[in-house]
Homo-oligomer: A and B are copies of this chain.
């Protein structure tokens, strides 16, 4: 059967992180009845440069039509295929504390094709309780669920102290990618992907900007130097 290679090319990380946004925007314009969209229009919606949109999309292939733009439905499909989201991905959450429970209840995952098939914890208080419509299981059950439900993506939301052990278990169980909400640096074997979301860290970055503004108030004068590197 036509194996129809979904992707030979490797998409640069910087472009990859924008694909989910494009995909979402395409969904919105579809609802609005648009059948075609230009890079300029999509760029405007995404609040990025149009050349960036075109270059990002060019990593998927040449799916645009010169003089016309991109067909929304076709482009959506191609992005979905590239991201691998043209199927359901079962996920598990490890850690049923505040954040884990929150994530389990968060509708945004299911909505985009990530169905929760297990929530795990080691705390006997939590095991057996229901979270996100699912009965919290003991971490010892992780491996079985991962294997029977064919889970390759795990979400980590344990306390920092037990995070590495939880990662080890996820990896041993067969999970290949982990979304880590624990503010710790965790190690995984080669071939396993781990991406991090540091919620408090995000706020710390914002406080940097706020502080900068506060500081520059003492400057009063805002010299907007519009220096353009003009080439001779």
Q: Which A residues contact B (CB, under 8 angstroms)?
A: 2-8, 10-11, 16-17, 19-21, 23-25, 45-47, 61, 82-85, 89, 91, 98-99, 101-103, 105-109, 111-112, 114, 152-153, 155, 176-179, 183, 185, 187, 191, 193, 195, 197-215, 218, 222, 227-230
Question: Cβ of B197 and Cβ of A84 under 8 Å apart?
Answer: no
- Closest chain B residue to A206 by CB distance? B177
Question: Cβ of A208 and Cβ of B83 under 8 Å apart?
Answer: yes
Q: Which of B7, B21, B203, B212 contacts A7 (CB 8 A)?
A: B212
Question: Cβ of A206 and Cβ of B179 under 8 Å apart?
Answer: yes
Question: Cβ of A106 and Cβ of B199 under 8 Å apart?
Answer: yes
A185-B46, A213-B191 given; A109·B200 CB < 8 A:
yes
Question: Cβ of A114 and Cβ of B185 under 8 Å apart?
Answer: no
CA gap between A93 and B164 in the complex, in Å:
30
Question: Cβ of A84 and Cβ of B7 under 8 Å apart?
Answer: no
- Identify the interface centre among A11, A111, A198, A208: most chain B CB within 10 Å of its CB: A208
CA gap between A218 and B202 in the complex, in Å:
39
A99-B106, A101-B102, A197-B197 given; A25·B185 CB < 8 A:
yes
Question: Cβ of A197 and Cβ of B207 under 8 Å apart?
Answer: no
A47-B185, A153-B206 given; A227·B109 CB < 8 A:
no
Top-7 shortest CB links A-B: A102-B102, A84-B211, A20-B201, A177-B206, A112-B200, A84-B207, A20-B204
A207-B83, A210-B177 given; A229·B2 CB < 8 A:
yes
